Amino acid sequence: MTEKIARVLEPESIAVIGASNTEGKRGYDTVRDLEHGEFEGDVYPVNPKYDEQILGLDVYPSVTDVPADLDLAFIVTPASTIPPILEECGDADVPGAVVLASGFSEADEADLEREVVETAVDNDVYVLGPNSQGFANGADLNLMGGYHVPDGTVAHVTQSGDVALMLSSEAAATGSNGFSFNVDIGNEANLQFHQYLPMLDAHEGTDAIALYAEGMADGRQFLRTARDIVPETPVVLLKGGRTDAGKQSAASHTGSIAGNADVVEAAYRQAGVVSVDSTEHVVPVATTLANLSPPDGNRVAVLSDSGGHATLAADAIARTDELELADLSSETETRLQEAVPVAPNVANPVDIVGIQGDSGDLSIYHTTAEILVEDPNVDLLLVAGTLGGYDEYGPELGDNNEVDVARRVARLDEEYDTPLVVQSMYGKQGSAALDAVEEEGVPALGSVDTAVECLASLAAYGRHLRTADEKTDFTFDRGGDQRHEVVAAAREAGRTQLSEWESKRLLESHDLPVVPTELAASPDEAAAAADSFDDRVAMKVASPEIVHKTDVGGVALDVDPVDARATYEELVETAASHRPDAEIPGVLVSPMLDDGVELIVGVVDDEETGPAIMVGLGGIFVEALEDVSFRSLPVTEFEAREMLDDLAASDVLDGMRGRPAVDRDAVVDLLCGVSDLVAATPGIDELDLNPVVATESGVSAVDASVTLADEP
Amino acid sequence: MTEKIARVLEPESIAVIGASNTEGKRGYDTVRDLEHGEFEGDVYPVNPKYDEQILGLDVYPSVTDVPADLDLAFIVTPASTIPPILEECGDADVPGAVVLASGFSEADEADLEREVVETAVDNDVYVLGPNSQGFANGADLNLMGGYHVPDGTVAHVTQSGDVALMLSSEAAATGSNGFSFNVDIGNEANLQFHQYLPMLDAHEGTDAIALYAEGMADGRQFLRTARDIVPETPVVLLKGGRTDAGKQSAASHTGSIAGNADVVEAAYRQAGVVSVDSTEHVVPVATTLANLSPPDGNRVAVLSDSGGHATLAADAIARTDELELADLSSETETRLQEAVPVAPNVANPVDIVGIQGDSGDLSIYHTTAEILVEDPNVDLLLVAGTLGGYDEYGPELGDNNEVDVARRVARLDEEYDTPLVVQSMYGKQGSAALDAVEEEGVPALGSVDTAVECLASLAAYGRHLRTADEKTDFTFDRGGDQRHEVVAAAREAGRTQLSEWESKRLLESHDLPVVPTELAASPDEAAAAADSFDDRVAMKVASPEIVHKTDVGGVALDVDPVDARATYEELVETAASHRPDAEIPGVLVSPMLDDGVELIVGVVDDEETGPAIMVGLGGIFVEALEDVSFRSLPVTEFEAREMLDDLAASDVLDGMRGRPAVDRDAVVDLLCGVSDLVAATPGIDELDLNPVVATESGVSAVDASVTLADEP
């Protein structure tokens, strides 16, 4: 398959189906551009309506008439013609086709799209599209129109042709950082995102992959494939539509807290995919990942000859979650002081003021940069400020060898295996010195923020690689034969919502920690249950139809056992008055728990990336602050621990103001146990443990709610 | 003063002091650039060591020998020579001088800097610097070196010469958005940030002011001045060193929660200053504020011909706190559907697909944009995607009048008084159509994120103007004669820390709500106090030396009055064992409060912007999450209410999960009361009310700690 896709994306013979003799039509322009452009392969116009030549080339009535082995059919005909044409492509053994036509699922014509996909599969033809703007490769082929894409080591695969055009036009305008491939996958109907990855991973001229995706057709398969290739070929993702998920912050269950975007982003990060938020960062970050080896840590030294840029770089570093300013060794500070006697600031960010003084000796840049990368406390170097502008824009310093100095600074990356990026205030204008930096494979950027984003992404990538073995392998498959009796009973009763009591039974059957809970079917049973706990109790109406028990007055806390009978009657009465439709088989009775930290643990099934687990601080704070963390299922112990560390309020778990730390191991066990439970129980659509109370000696689910999928 | 500074920054006669005949020296290059550049005024080289001419100009031994009225002395001589030269400038009635020399406070030579300032004041000479790289104006003067600054309507005043050079070189490179002034204020020793504002406000060619500041010499005066001018001339601030404040997140008092940066940012925002985080945004945002009238609201319509750009724009809008996507009226959607029959997405973000089809009729852009600005639900318009690229980069569409269409779209801003910004994927390359947009005063940008930042800043500015009258006028002066007896007692005892009991007395004397608290000096007094409250009580050791009472085991909660005696002894004993040094005059006894929402209220005195008040959710959450809001003192009721709305967890105050909403009015009263208390009480350095408990019926400070400044 990889070879076949490679043949399609680097074709040597192309049939243009729907070729035309009318200038301005895509069927003409494509033939003209292929024949008169840089493409060195063969071009075969196909159109049954023509018997004359197009631009001196013979026209064939069908792709089956072409007297050559074709690598690609480029189809510019309308939507309705596509299925029969794909059949002919199959007959002619064409491995792949690009379909430009729109008018498929994006225009509510899903049936026609389905027919295209079926025809493609039946005829063994890979279809790129439909509704694609085409693709270009870095060799000699531009089937996309617009700018010719300069060659480069980043492959760009996108769901928006206009984003592809934007990035390639910018690459052409700035004269650097082009693409090995630029592919608009259109409706992703047949060839899907994940199918490009192995081919691009294997491609010699591709060192990183950049994606623009709004939603992937098979996100779960993408996760598995991405995880396999990222150690060799890093993947950068700009996710569009992140904020369309329509969170309903007021509701309380996991499904509504989890905006899809958060779940999806967590899943991609888990697979080692590097996320960026802005089109501005796609190419610089992908180029950085393509060119530089990831660091062992996240400690950045900043070297600048401008106090302002040093400060702005330190600010930008502090704004990232990923990076920190390196704490330079005292030896380094002493060496810097000796190297730059004119009042430098030798603490990080290092400011080598005075470089614009009389001497004009720019080699101080190399000297100080080398001192910094020799410091074992430094994992990454950011050179910021004026380097790259002395020769062409600065005061006349005489022969200061700026190009040579810049080149030697850039080479420190490989000499010391410490990745570095150069930010120059003249980065947007460019200079010979900055060209020299890029020739050495080091990014040279105009923006401080973009430079820091590049370093942060590289550090995140390095962190993933160091911990990849500890992470899930996305082999999660729900199913199995441990169908629990409560699930069977609910199915039999035609319910998808398990009651709290049923949900807790299901948890207990997997040895998950649940507050002891008795289902009392009468006031007397409630009193007996309360007595048996020998403690004050919590009482809640038990009904599969009432999920939000507090809202119907169905919860009583801290009840004295002697009041259990009366409380039973009160709860049932109040709940029934709110919800006269609901069947109320009884009241749940549990002992009150000691004070602890309330957590929420939940599972959602995301349309794009599959089931995911969530943990957050519970109670009103998860609702007001949405401080939660997600991972795709299954989760490893390492990942469960990471989830707790991710929480903004993570410190709360460690005990503050004299409170004891909670038992993190128990929380981690619970998360892993929920992961196992969902894997072993077919058809769980959503699971909520809210609250879970964590104390210094353990963890316990106080409430539980499981919802089944409509179909098992 | 304004006129005098204007004369200095738009001089018609300049003395270059330290003029030289040696090429490459600043004293030569400056004379050469002034004489052979665009400057149309007169240049007078000054140097006592020269008796020959420089570049054909007579050289004068002293500025007092120059036979003309000088507007500016440009001084390039070393630090030690500056004071006598300034005296001569005074003798010659020169209104202002630029001092380039370094070697002052930035190099630990504060005495020399002080001498410069005193000389400047004594001689009535405004000094720009020292340690400045000079300035340029948009007329004909560049005393900064580097790129000539293109003319524009934004004045840039900066603490970093390199940031000034970066912005001006970018402006020169992109060919748009230049400066009316570009001033490096250097060490801000004499002429300070706030002193430039009235002159720039009055300057006819300046419509907005952009600042890069790391710290202002007189932030409080800046706040007052900025507040006065921003309604006429908007001010944009990039604050460097924001993240250097060294927050100590683990500690619990207001001073350590308040990173200076947060306090300072709140203060500037309060004055109506618009903050940006990146050098990338300074010029676009300032230009937007200079050119467009602020909107009445924050609802943005997005118009795009690219689905990808529409999505990315919606994402960027959702990421801002300021903007929201407009909810288009159904009439608008119907009109759009009629105007663009080819399957448009008429919901916001509006995607007019198919524009690149056969017709080539770009006027659809104007038609649809006009429909959108006519919608009363739309406050701002973002046109995103391909406009600006059809003629020069797109497929051949025939004569599509792109320049004309772009101009007509841009004019909608003034026609409908709905501000709009154009983002084009070809914005970085530029085109005649985008030039036309900018000629109409509408920003044309390459980056979606920058375009959205411009709209968000404009909306924030508009919001400030609508509410400015409700805000503080920064006339806060601490002092007055209401020195409370507890303050006097502490001063007399040589203490700056008031005990909890003293702090509460101070609050009560201003009628602020405090939990009833008795100071019991013996077990018997504790028992009597507890009995008097007729409730379970909280008991805390009382010692001015013990601020963190929990840490020394000095707090007992929910004590039965019958146990008050024993608890007294236990608390004193435990606290004494932890802190044998501390004097413990007794134990405070208070009734336990009903459940409520814990808040923290505090006051800090910021070095740059003066005293500020903070409010946040109390308890462990303020420490773990730092969800707090600041305002400079004094605060108005409006601002106190805004502070509560600012909190991420603001919803908690409104009651969640069946809890009642807390009495916001009481919290607002408390904040305003604290503001009054601090104004009336000289020498309060820090004040902490932690926790304050807010319920549905009121608010009450449970703990209080006041620290006095070392000097009253």
Output the pLDDT for position A368: 95
Output the pLDDT for position B243: 59
Q: State chain A's mean pLDDT as an integer.
A: 89
Assess whether pLDDT exceeds 80 at residue B77. Answer: yes
Output the pLDDT for position B369: 96
Residue in A315, A396, A656 closest to B240 by CB: A315
Token pair recorded at residue B488: 């006097």
Is B315 in Cβ contact with A243 (below 8 Å)? yes
Instruction: Verify that A487 and A461 share a domain, yes or no.
Output: no
What count of Cα atoms within 13 Å lies in the side-chain half-sphere of residue A658?
10
Instruction: Verify that A571 and A602 share a domain, yes or no.
Output: no
Output the pLDDT for position B473: 74
Max avg pLDDT among A181-195, A486-500, A656-670: A181-195
Closest residue in B to A103 (Cα) is B343
**What torsion, rounded to 10 degrees, do the Cα atoms B25, B26, B32, B34 define?**
180
Of the pLDDT bands very low, low, confident and very high (cuts 50, 70, 90), residue A247 is very low
Assess whether pLDDT exceeds 70 at residue B246. Answer: no
Instruction: Verify that B18 and B86 share a domain, yes or no.
Output: yes
Output the pLDDT for position A712: 63
Q: Which chain A residues in 436-495 lie under 8 Å from chain B, judged by CB atoms? A: 446-449
Name the residue range of residue B325's domain.
293-470
Instruction: Verify that A576 and A690 share a domain, yes or no.
Output: no
- Residue with the bigger pLDDT between B485 and A565: it is A565
Chain B partners of A307 at a C-beta cutoff of 8 Å?
Answer: 160, 162
Q: Give domain status of residue A156, yes or no.
A: yes
- Residue with the bigger pLDDT between A464 and A177: it is A464
**CATH number for the domain that contains residue A582:** 3.30.1490.20
Q: Give domain status of residue A228, yes or no.
A: no
Q: Residue A540 forms beta bridges with which residues?
A: A555, A588
Per mean pLDDT, which range of A324-333, B343-352, B362-371, B500-509 is the poorest?
B343-352
Closest residue in A to B26 (Cα) is A395
> What residue has token string 């046109």?
B383
**Domain endpoint, select from B81, B105, B131:** B131
Residue in A160, A652, A657 closest to B308 by CB: A160
The answer to whether A200 touches A233, Cβ cutoff 8 Å, is yes
Assess whether pLDDT exceeds 60 at residue B254. Answer: no
Chain B partners of A621 at a C-beta cutoff of 8 Å?
Answer: 621, 649, 652
Assess whether pLDDT exceeds 70 at residue B56. Answer: yes
Chain A partners of B214 at a C-beta cutoff of 8 Å?
Answer: 308, 311
Instruction: Verify that A550 and A536 share a domain, yes or no.
Output: yes
Chain A partners of B170 at a C-beta cutoff of 8 Å?
Answer: 428, 446
Instruction: Verify that B137 and B121 share a domain, yes or no.
Output: no
Output the pLDDT for position A605: 87
Of the pLDDT bands very low, low, confident and very high (cuts 50, 70, 90), residue A620 is low
Output the pLDDT for position A168: 82
Instruction: Verify that B650 and B539 share a domain, yes or no.
Output: no
Instruction: Verify that B278 and B414 share a domain, yes or no.
Output: no
Q: Which chain B residues in 608-627 lie under 8 Å from chain A, judged by CB atoms? A: 619-621, 623-625, 627
Nearest-angstrom CA–CA distance, B241 and B258: 15
Count the residues in chain B. Answer: 712
What count of Cα atoms within 13 Å lies in the side-chain half-sphere of residue B485?
4
Output the pLDDT for position A682: 76
Best B28, B159, B166 residue to mutate vs chain A (most A CBs within 10 Å) = B166
Of the pLDDT bands very low, low, confident and very high (cuts 50, 70, 90), residue B389 is confident
Q: Give domain status of residue B322, yes or no.
A: yes
Assess whether pLDDT exceeds 80 at residue B179. Answer: yes
**What torsion, rounded to 10 degrees, do the Cα atoms A455, A457, A463, A465 define?**
-120
Nearest-CA distance from B91 to chain A in Å? Answer: 32
For the segment B36-65, the average pLDDT, to the nearest whole number, is 93
Chain A contact present for B176, CB below 8 A = no
E strands, B197-245, are 208-213, 235-239
Output the pLDDT for position B250: 26
**CATH number for the domain that contains residue B156:** 3.40.50.261
Chain A contact present for B343, CB below 8 A = yes
Nearest-angstrom CA–CA distance, B409 and A451: 35
Output the pLDDT for position B456: 98
Chain B partners of A186 at a C-beta cutoff of 8 Å?
Answer: none
Assess whether pLDDT exceeds 90 at residue B182. Answer: yes
Q: Where are the alpha helices (DSSP H) in A468-509?
A: 485-492, 500-509
Q: DSSP letter at A459?
A: H
Assess whether pLDDT exceeds 80 at residue A354. Answer: no
Is A312 in Cβ contact with B279 (below 8 Å)? yes
Cβ-Cβ contacts under 8 Å for B193 (sequence gap 6 or more): B157, B185, B211, B213, B216, B217, B218, B222
Best A242, A312, A659 residue to mutate vs chain B (most B CBs within 10 Å) = A312
For the segment B122-132, the average pLDDT, to the nearest whole number, is 95
Per mean pLDDT, which range of A91-100, A189-198, A591-600, B390-399 is the poorest?
B390-399
Output the pLDDT for position A45: 97
Per mean pLDDT, which range of A120-124, B245-249, B697-701 is the poorest?
B245-249
Q: Which chain B residues in 102-131 lie under 8 Å from chain A, judged by CB atoms? A: 102, 107
Assess whether pLDDT exceeds 80 at residue B531. Answer: yes
Chain A partners of B425 at a C-beta cutoff of 8 Å?
Answer: 162, 165-166, 169
Nearest-CA distance from B211 to chain A in Å? Answer: 12
Chain A partners of B244 at a C-beta cutoff of 8 Å?
Answer: 311, 314-315
> pLDDT of A161-212, one tens digit each?
888 888 887 777 766 668 999 999 999 999 999 999 999 999 999 999 999 9
> pLDDT of A11-46, one tens digit each?
999 999 999 998 878 899 999 999 988 899 999 999
Residue in A240, A551, A651 closest to B311 by CB: A240
Nearest-CA distance from A133 to chain B in Å? Answer: 12
For the segment B685-708, the average pLDDT, to the nearest whole number, is 93
Residue in B147, B312, B619 closest to A240 by CB: B312
Output the pLDDT for position B333: 93
Is A393 in Cβ contact with B169 (below 8 Å)? yes
Closest residue in B to A549 (Cα) is B657
Nearest-CA distance from B388 to chain A in Å? Answer: 12
Is A657 in Cβ contact with B252 (below 8 Å)? yes
Nearest-CA distance from B161 to chain A in Å? Answer: 8
Instruction: Verify that B163 and B284 share a domain, yes or no.
Output: yes
Diameter of chain A measured on Cα atoms: 100
> pLDDT of B404-456, one tens digit each?
999 999 999 999 999 999 999 888 888 999 999 999 999 999 999 999 999 99
Q: Which chain A residues in 644-683 lie under 8 Å from chain B, judged by CB atoms? A: 648-652, 656-659
Instruction: Verify that B562 and B700 share a domain, yes or no.
Output: no
Q: DSSP letter at B50?
A: -
Q: How many domains does chain A have?
A: 4
> pLDDT of A404-451, one tens digit each?
999 999 999 999 999 999 999 888 888 999 999 999 999 999 999 999
Angle at A358 between CA A354 and CA A362, to 5 degrees: 65
- ipTM score for this prediction: 0.90
Closest residue in B to A357 (Cα) is B25
Q: Give domain status of residue A268, yes or no.
A: no
Question: 3-class DSSP state for residue A235?
Answer: strand
Q: Give domain status of residue B505, yes or no.
A: no
Q: State chain B's mean pLDDT as an integer.
A: 89
**Domain endpoint, select from B257, B291, B325:** B291
Share of chain B above pLDDT 70, in %: 91
Instruction: Verify that B611 and B524 share a domain, yes or no.
Output: no
Output the pLDDT for position A593: 84
The answer to whether B503 touches B519, Cβ cutoff 8 Å, is no
> pLDDT of B639-688, one tens digit each?
999 999 999 888 889 887 667 899 999 999 999 999 999 988 878 889 99
Per mean pLDDT, which range of A638-642, B319-323, B481-485, B591-595 is the poorest?
B481-485
Chain B contact present for A165, CB below 8 A = yes
Assess whether pLDDT exceeds 60 at residue B396. Answer: no
Element of type H or E holding A238: strand A235-239
For the segment A477-481, the average pLDDT, to the nearest whole number, is 51
Q: Which chain A residues in 370-389 lie under 8 Å from chain B, judged by CB atoms? A: 385-386, 389
**Domain endpoint, select from B237, B266, B291:** B291
Q: For chains A and B, what is the number of CB pairs under 8 angstroms?
A: 197
Of the pLDDT bands very low, low, confident and very high (cuts 50, 70, 90), residue B162 is confident
Is A343 in Cβ contact with B625 (below 8 Å)? no
Chain A partners of B448 at a C-beta cutoff of 8 Å?
Answer: 278-279
Residue B620's Cα: distance from chain center in Å?
Answer: 29
Chain A contact present for B170, CB below 8 A = yes
Of the pLDDT bands very low, low, confident and very high (cuts 50, 70, 90), residue A395 is low
Token pair recorded at residue A623: 């609702």
Q: Residue A610 forms beta bridges with which residues?
A: A606
Output the pLDDT for position B167: 86
Assess whether pLDDT exceeds 80 at residue A48. Answer: yes
Assess whether pLDDT exceeds 90 at residue A360. Answer: no
Is A446 in Cβ contact with B657 (below 8 Å)? no
**Nearest Cα to Cα of residue A385 among A427, A443, A433:** A427
Best A76, A131, A144, A311 residue to mutate vs chain B (most B CBs within 10 Å) = A311
Q: Give domain status of residue A461, yes or no.
A: yes
Assess whether pLDDT exceeds 80 at residue B480. Answer: no
> pLDDT of B572-603, one tens digit each?
999 999 998 888 889 999 999 877 889 999 99
Residue burial A620-636, b: 16+ Cβ < 10 Å; e: rest: bbbbbbbbbbbbbbbbb
Output the pLDDT for position B710: 84
Instruction: Verify that B155 and B285 share a domain, yes or no.
Output: yes
Q: Give domain status of residue B39, yes or no.
A: yes
Is B625 in Cβ contact with A173 (below 8 Å)? no
Nearest-CA distance from A20 to chain B in Å? Answer: 15
Q: Give domain status of residue B138, yes or no.
A: yes
Chain A partners of B161 at a C-beta cutoff of 8 Å?
Answer: 308
Environment class of A22 (CB within 10 Å of its CB; exposed 0-12, middle 13-18, buried 19+): exposed
Residue burial B162-184, b: 16+ Cβ < 10 Å; e: rest: bbbbbbbbbbbebebbbbbbbbb
Output the pLDDT for position B252: 35
Q: Which chain B residues in 252-271 lie under 8 Å from chain A, judged by CB atoms? A: 252
Nearest-CA distance from A218 to chain B in Å? Answer: 20
